[in-house]
Chains A and B, each alone.
Chain A
Amino acid sequence: MAEAVYLLCALTSAACAVLLLRAWKRTQSRLLLWSGLCFGFLTLNNVLLFVDLVLLPTSIDLYVPRLITGLAGAVTLLYGLISDAS
C-alpha cells in the first residue's frame, strides 16, 4: 500500500511538471515555467522518497535531501509568484 502511494506520488507530480512545462512552451507564461520547475523538484522529492523508503536499507537515511528538494520546490514557486506579482 505505502509503496504504491510513493510511486503514484512520483508519477502524478511528474505528470504535473510535464503538463505545466508544455503549457509554458505554448503560452510563454512565466508563472507556468516556475510552477513546472516547482513540480520538477517535487518529482525529484518523490523519487527520493521511493528510493529512501522502499529501495534502500533503513541504515541509509535520505530524509534531509528529501526535505531540501521539497523546500526547493516551494521556494521556486514562491519566487515565481513574487517576481510575477511585482
Chain B
Amino acid sequence: MIRPLLNGATAMAWLACALFFLRFWRQSHDRLFAFFALAFSLLAGNAVAGALLYADDERRHYIYVVRLFAFLLILYAIWDKNRAGRGNAG
C-alpha cells in the first residue's frame, strides 16, 4: 500500500515542479525553463509508470530509459544555456 502512495506523491511533486518551470518559461521565454518543464514531466510520467507496472515486469527497465532521456535533456539544457551565455559575453 505504501508503494503506490509514494509513487503517486512523487509523480505529483514532479508535475508541480514542471508546472513551475512552465510558468517561468512563459514569463521569460528562456529555453532552459522549457527543457526543465519537459524533463520533469517525463519524470512525473516515470513515477506513474513505476506505480502501474509490476516489479517483475520485463518492460520495467524501459522506464529507466525514459528517465535517462530526461537527465540527458537537463544536461543538454544546461550546456545550451552556458553556450548562449558565452555567446552574449563575447
Name A's B-contacting residues (CB within 8 A). Answer: 1-2, 5-6, 8-9, 12-13, 15-16, 19-20, 23, 39, 42, 49, 63-64, 67-68, 70-71, 74-75, 77-78, 81-82, 85
Decide if A71 touches B78 in the complex (CB within 8 Å): no
Q: For residues 46 through 68 of chain B, which have their beta carbon under 8 Å from a beta carbon of chain A?
A: 47, 55, 61, 64-65, 67-68
Chain A positions within 8 Å of B3 at CB level: 63-64, 67
Decide if A67 touches B10 in the complex (CB within 8 Å): yes
Chain A positions within 8 Å of B7 at CB level: 67
B9 nearest CB neighbor, chain A only: A71
* Given A20-B78, A67-B7; A2-B64 close (CB under 8 Å): yes
- B10: which of A20, A64, A74 is its contact (CB, 8 Å)? A74
Q: Could you tell me the distance between the alpha carbons of A42 and B7 in the complex, rounded to whole angstroms?
A: 14
B interface residues, how many (CB within 8 angstroms): 26
B84 interfacial by beta-carbon distance below 8 Å: no
Decide if A1 touches B61 in the complex (CB within 8 Å): yes
Chain B positions within 8 Å of A64 at CB level: 2-3, 6
Most A CB atoms within 10 A — which of B10, B17, B20?
B17
Decide if A77 touches B47 in the complex (CB within 8 Å): no
Decide if A13 touches B6 in the complex (CB within 8 Å): no
A-B contact pairs, 12 of them (CB 8 A): A5-B64, A12-B68, A12-B75, A15-B75, A16-B75, A16-B78, A19-B78, A23-B78, A64-B6, A71-B6, A74-B13, A78-B16
Q: Could you tell me the distance between the alpha carbons of A75 and B64 in the complex, rounded to whole angstroms?
A: 20
